């Protein structure tokens, strides 16, 4: 029989996100004439409503936009800063060690993770406003329509939301998320059942307080959040709990804006955010792997995995040693991405060296992403997060504040130590790929320390192996962000045994789709979009 004819529509615009409601809001904005940035922001605001432990207006964000109309290619970085009253030794006497998985630090009483002291200056909304002011098409107020609708009308608890509500990280020295959900009276009312346990799959959540907050920001702009009545409510709640965040911190927050890092790979240019975001780590891995013929090894063969994990470990070691806030330390980006350094690293791998990555300080898993492309060729890639959610919902506002102070090292004198105004390294790596100067790919991922290695593997799947975006995000992945090699459950046992025989410690994940949740869009021919949503999350790609 002849092969069936392709009947899917050829979409010229598309948005992809891990939440169906958010993808719906982004697609509605595209259909209403918004550009890709408008759609991505409408999507992101909705994500904060329907994935409240992953992101929101109390969180932080990194955004990359390519706009051919204005010839703009820019990164807006809104990683949270330590409050101005923070001091390097404020928790030195309460320090209990690193968390066993390398994510964050254990401080007596969990004060760096739960409650008012855990909060950094939230930068996400400032990113949204600055980018929209530069490149948005639709009025600011219209970006909030979808988010307000879901906050008022409600949404149902989905599988991944429930997984986060019930996540217990006590084995890693952190609190169970249920403790954060019920930390405030507002949290208990919104997200918990009468017995204090998290709401279950299929149960309904309405958040009229958040709808009112979003309406105020929609009409008053971001200044309502950073200088107006919402700012005062945030600071009152934080300072009542003994936190350090002040009105001056909110009013004085500014995004860091820059051109993206441009990394050559297989004739393409991979554009990534500069430090303290994770782009330099992705770029370093690609520079090393560009020295090898990967397709000759076979996809996910033992030799292929060994080669790629060595690049992961080398980049991870360099990240630990060198990558932080450029305002506080020199980050040798040019050297890490140079031909000479990539050649030297490749030579170490060819010589059979096995790198040792004993500890990699990682990001939170509670992060999300949105990618968007419009018919005019604007490409957008944005990752945003609450870091480790603090549990603190300022009374009557409906949104939770970030807990990103958990990322800061309580020990003075270290690259990640606490300092007023300092930003911590984040693995967030929203990426855009250019082919001869024209954008062809936008992608990124939530997933903590796994973000960089997952984004890199999906780029290999696209640029080396010629996969579609959905194939690329669905293919089995592996990770080396510590002394262990973690593999997804779909990687064969024979491959695992070969790696173990070569001296690697291998851990098999129970998940079939593991290690971050990559979402992205390709448009190879300049007109037709193809999207991919990682199957481990709840979202999809919506074409318009």
Contact between 111 and 94 (Cβ < 8 Å): yes
What does each C-alpha distance from 387 to 94, 166, 192, 436 come to in angstroms? 21, 17, 21, 36
Least Cα distance to 125 among 197, 227, 203, 198 occurs for 227
Query: Would strands 438-444 and 478-479 be described as parallel, antiparallel, or unpaired?
Result: unpaired
Contact between 476 and 301 (Cβ < 8 Å): no
Least Cα distance to 405 among 85, 19, 93 occurs for 85
User: Which backbone phi and psi does 432 adopt, to 5 degrees?
Assistant: -135, 135
Q: Where are the alpha helices (DSSP H) in 259-301?
A: 279-289
User: Which backbone phi and psi does 84 adopt, to 5 degrees?
Assistant: -60, -25
Query: Would strands 268-272 and 367-373 be described as parallel, antiparallel, or unpaired?
Result: unpaired
What does each C-alpha distance from 176 to 9, 60, 101, 166, 180 come to in angstroms? 44, 22, 15, 7, 7
CA separation for the pair 124, 15 (Å, rounded): 19
Give bridge partners of residue 61 from the DSSP assignment: 78, 384
CA separation for the pair 242, 540 (Å, rounded): 41
CA separation for the pair 438, 418 (Å, rounded): 41
| The token pair that represents 341 in the structure block | 């350094």
Catalytic residue flag (residue 367): yes
| The token pair that represents 118 in the structure block | 């855990």
* Longest alpha-carbon distance in the chain: 74
Give bridge partners of residue 485 from the DSSP assignment: 506
Contact between 421 and 335 (Cβ < 8 Å): no
What does each C-alpha distance from 514 to 466, 493, 536 come to in angstroms? 21, 16, 7
Least Cα distance to 320 among 409, 420, 198, 395 occurs for 409
Catalytic residue among 367, 383, 385, 388: 367
**Enzyme catalytic residues:** 367
């Amino acid at each position: 029989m002849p092969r069936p004819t392709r009947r899917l529509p050829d979409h010229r615009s598309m948005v992809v996100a891990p939440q169906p409601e958010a993808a719906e809001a982004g697609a509605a904005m595209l259909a209403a004439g918004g550009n890709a940035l408008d759609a991505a922001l409408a999507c992101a605001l909705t994500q904060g409503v329907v994935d409240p432990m992953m992101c929101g207006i109390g969180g932080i964000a990194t955004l990359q936009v390519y706009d051919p109309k204005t010839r703009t290619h820019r990164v807006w970085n809104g990683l949270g800063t330590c409050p101005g009253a923070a001091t390097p030794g404020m928790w030195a006497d309460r320090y209990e060690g690193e968390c066993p998985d390398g994510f964050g630090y254990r401080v007596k009483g969990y004060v760096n993770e739960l409650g008012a002291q855990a909060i950094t200056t939230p930068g996400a909304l400032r990113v949204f406003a600055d980018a929209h002011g530069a490149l948005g098409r639709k009025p600011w107020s219209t970006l909030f329509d979808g988010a307000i609708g879901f906050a008022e009308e409600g949404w149902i608890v989905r599988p991944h939301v429930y997984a986060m509500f019930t996540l217990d990280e006590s084995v890693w020295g952190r609190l169970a998320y249920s403790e954060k959900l019920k930390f405030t009276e507002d949290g208990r009312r919104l997200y918990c059942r009468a017995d204090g346990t998290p709401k279950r799959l299929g149960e309904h959540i309405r958040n009229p307080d958040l709808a009112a907050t979003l309406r105020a920001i929609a009409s008053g702009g971001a200044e309502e959040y950073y200088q107006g009545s919402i700012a005062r409510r945030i600071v009152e709640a934080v300072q009542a709990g003994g936190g350090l965040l002040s009105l001056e911190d909110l009013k004085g927050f500014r995004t860091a804006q820059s051109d993206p890092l441009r990394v050559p790979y297989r004739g393409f240019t991979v554009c990534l955010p500069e430090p303290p975001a994770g782009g330099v780590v992705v770029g370093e891995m690609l520079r090393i792997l560009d020295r090898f013929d990967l397709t000759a090894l076979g996809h996910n063969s033992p030799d292929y995995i060994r080669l790629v994990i060595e690049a992961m470990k080398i980049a991870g070691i360099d990240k630990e040693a060198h990558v932080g806030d450029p305002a506080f330390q020199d980050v040798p980006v040019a050297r890490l991405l140079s031909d000479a350094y990539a050649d030297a690293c490749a030579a170490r791998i060819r010589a059979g060296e096995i790198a040792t990555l004993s500890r990699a300080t990682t990001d939170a898993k509670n992060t999300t992403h949105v990618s968007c492309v419009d018919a005019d060729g604007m490409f957008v890639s944005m990752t945003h997060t609450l870091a480790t959610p603090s549990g603190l919902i300022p009374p009557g506002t409906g949104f939770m504040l970030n807990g990103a102070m958990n990322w800061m090292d309580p020990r003075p004198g270290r690259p990640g130590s606490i300092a007023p105004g300092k930003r911590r390294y984040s693995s967030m790596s929203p990426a855009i790929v250019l082919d001869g100067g024209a954008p062809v790919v936008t992608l990124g991922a939530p997933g903590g320390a796994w973000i960089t290695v997952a984004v890199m593997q999906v780029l290999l799947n696209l640029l080396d192996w010629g996969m579609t975006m959905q194939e690329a995000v669905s293919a089995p992945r592996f990770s080396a962000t510590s002394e262990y090699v973690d593999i997804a459950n779909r990687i064969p046992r024979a491959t695992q045994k070969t790696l173990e025989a070569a001296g690697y410690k291998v851990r098999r994940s129970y998940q079939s789709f593991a290690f971050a949740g990559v979402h992205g869009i390709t448009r190879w021919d300049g007109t037709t979009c193809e999207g991919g949503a990682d199957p481990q999350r709840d979202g999809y790609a919506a074409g318009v």
